Amino acid sequence: MTLSEQIQEWHQNDEHQEIVDALEQIPRAEWDYELSCVYARALNNLERYEEAMALLLEWEAEGKEDGLWYFRVGYALYYLCREAEAAEYFQKAIDYGDDDEDTRMLLQVSLEEAEQRKTEEVTAPEMYLKEEMDAIEAHIMTYFGNYDKVFHELVSPDIHVDIAVIEPSQERNYYILCTMGMGAHRMAVPPEQEEQERAELLICLPPDWNLEQTDEEKWYWPLRWLKILARLPIEEDTWLGWGHTIPNGEPFAENTRFTTMMLLNPGAFDKAAKSCALPGGGTVNFYQLIPLYEEESQFKIKYKTEKLLSLLEDDALEQVKLDRPSVIPAVSL
């Protein structure tokens, strides 16, 4: 039996290591194109795809009109999860005469999986690196408080936004709800304000706020607005920063007249609470959501943020108070 016949028998019996062992007894200097392709085929069948592709590419000039050469390169590429490139080689294999049913099947599968991979890459949510997330969590616990409860997001089309819940304490008798994930996205800030491109948000709620009844809008609206504003920079290709106000156009829920959210630095906390340095470089800014009445929002637009802040009491800037009076009589507008 000739070596060629023996190789064919081993191939039919799936004894691919036998082929590799036999060919490796022949000095590489004596290998020709045909022998190299047979060896590469055996490597592919042994799942040694990178080695197979490297060898095949050494014979690219000789294989440029050989359908089997294109098939074997495409086969290696497919199993290396490079489906789009594999499809190109399978198509070339067909163009150069390898019109086998398996080749056409692998071409179709490669095209479908390449499209699926492209879709997954486009829709995969932006997320912090692990060490960045560790830094964000440590920052929240250091400056806002420890947390055991988290509202985990189940569907994340663009960013993954969880909300940490810090329970009321003797020092701060209110809930602190803080996003974790918004800052994975770099906002479209003006060129001179690159340090503002990442942000997380928090809101402080009274100790009697019912976080167990989030199916009711009168309890859920602060969480809803944390999520709305976390995604606003992505959906509108914009940015959020200190002093920005975002109107709802109507009261947030039946239990309040508040219609607008304003972003401020978290003033009742340590000054260092307003930003978190990431281990790989960059800064995440933390902004507190302060709900405003419609007349307060219009006053802020007309007279600027600082003028409105001079009228608001400190406790209105520390936690949400549903019963606080407006600081702007309607007639003053």
What pLDDT, on the 0 to 100 scale, is given for residue 121? 62
Q: What is the DSSP string of 283-332?
A: EEEEEEEEEE-HHHHHHHHHH-HHHHHTTS-GGGGTS--TTPPPSS-GGG
Encode pLDDT of 28-44 as tens digits.
Answer: 889 999 999 999 999 99
Beta strands in the chain (DSSP E): 149-151, 162-166, 175-180, 199-205, 245-247, 260-264, 275-277, 283-292
Residues near 267 by beta carbon (within 8 Å), at least 6 away in sequence: 288, 314, 317, 318
Q: What three-state secondary structure class fits 247? A: strand
Residue matched to tokens 């007639």: 331
What phi and psi, each to the nearest 5 degrees, are found at residue 151? -80, 105
Residues near 153 by beta carbon (within 8 Å), at least 6 away in sequence: 160, 161, 162, 181, 227
Q: Number of C-alpha atoms within 13 angstroms, CB side, residue 42?
A: 22
Closest CA to 144 of 286, 5, 284: 286
Tell me how far apart the alpha carbons of residues 44 and 243 are, in angstroms, rounded to a whole number: 61
For each successive 10 residues of the chain (333 residues), what is the average pLDDT? Answer: 86 92 91 92 94 93 92 94 93 91 92 82 82 97 97 88 97 97 96 93 97 93 97 96 97 96 96 96 96 96 95 92 89 48
Residue matched to tokens 């933390």: 286
What pLDDT, on the 0 to 100 scale, is given for residue 330? 54
What pLDDT, on the 0 to 100 scale, is given for residue 137? 98
Encode pLDDT of 277-322 as tens digits.
Answer: 999 899 999 999 999 999 999 999 999 999 999 999 988 899 999 9
What pLDDT, on the 0 to 100 scale, is given for residue 234? 95
Look at phi and psi of residue 153 and say left if phi exceeds 0, alpha if psi is from -120 to 50, else beta: beta
Tell me how far apart the alpha carbons of residues 224 and 273 are, in angstroms, rounded to a whole number: 23
Tell me how far apart the alpha carbons of residues 37 and 191 are, in angstroms, rounded to a whole number: 54
What does the DSSP 8-state code read for residue 274? Answer: G
Closest CA to 298 of 270, 253, 323, 262: 262
